[in-house]
Amino acid sequence: MERDDPIELMDLISEIALEEADGLFAANCCARLARHRNAMVRGNAVMGFGHLARRFGQLDGRRIHRLVDIALHDQSDYVRAQAESAAEDLTTFLSWEFDARD
């Protein structure tokens, strides 16, 4: 993460979301990268929340919900698509609700 290389970060996010044993650490990494300047990194980080919901069955509701809400309105089509997928997973696995999306 220190090198801030978008290509490396996109791969790292998937590894963290799918493999990291510490759910809080993984969620914190995804939350940090959900604000990244690169749209692909942001999108993958938001997608990571869906994986974490499936794997751990819990997330910091207020913080993560807000990040997904923001991503649902991102200027990038990719980020919005990943946020839609994450919102579906968060609804399925954590019973979270999101406002209707256009």
38-65 pLDDT per residue, tens: 999 999 999 999 999 999 999 988 899 9
Quick one: tokens of 20? 């990291």
CA distance 36 to 57: 25
Task: Please check whether residue 100 lies inside any domain of the structure.
Answer: no
HSE-up (13 A, CA, CB side) for residue 94: 24
Does any domain span residue 57? yes
What CATH number is associated with residue 46? 1.25.10
Greatest alpha-carbon span in the chain? 37
The whole domain housing 40 covers 6-94
29: in domain: yes
Which residue stretches of the chain have pLDDT < 70?
A: 1, 100-102
Between CA 40 and CA 37 the distance in angstroms is 9
- For the chain, what is the domain count? 1
66/81 Cα distance (integer angstroms) = 16
How much is the pLDDT for 49?
97
pLDDT of residue 3: 81
Instruction: Look at residue 102 in the predicted model and tell me its pLDDT.
Output: 53
Is residue 1 in a domain?
A: no
pTM of structure: 0.91
Residue 12 within any structural domain of the chain: yes
